[in-house]
């Protein structure tokens, strides 16, 4: 799938799992954390932050992308999406587009803390045609 090792991917899951309790999800009660491994080797973290005005909610993946960009990195190699639901969940459409802006070939690892189920795939598997100018 890529030059990434299973240890690198598992580390992302572990980093996201450590912060999932920081998620702010009083409306959906779906807690999500994300960890991004950038091309520089640094890991960036994010959690979902809901708002009573639902459109203002920030997904964990976009939160982690914002941290990555804030620190000057631009290329996510792998993205862990960790949830406390029974099954892993993929990024929403908005997150897919944001991730594709920086690397449409990023590896995704989707993981459930409840069942320990996981799926590994490339972003292009679930988002083959991102919007481009």
Catalytic residues, by residue number, are 61
- The Cα-based distances of 81 to 52, 53, 55 in angstroms read 23, 23, 20
If one counts every other C-beta atom within 10 angstroms of the C-beta of residue 87, the result is 11
């Amino acid at each position: 799938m890529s030059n990434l090792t299973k240890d690198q991917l598992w580390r992302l899951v572990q980093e996201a799992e450590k912060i999932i309790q920081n998620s702010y999800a009083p409306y959906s009660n779906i807690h999500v954390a994300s960890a991004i491994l950038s091309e520089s080797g640094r890991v960036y973290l994010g959690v979902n932050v809901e708002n009573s005005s639902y459109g203002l909610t920030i997904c964990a993946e976009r939160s982690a992308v914002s941290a990555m960009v804030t620190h000057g990195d631009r290329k996510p190699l792998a993205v862990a999406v960790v949830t406390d639901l029974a099954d892993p969940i993929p990024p929403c459409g908005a997150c897919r587009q944001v991730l594709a802006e920086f690397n449409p070939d990023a590896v995704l690892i989707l993981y459930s803390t409840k069942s320990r189920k996981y799926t590994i795939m490339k972003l292009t598997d679930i988002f083959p045609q991102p919007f481009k100018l």
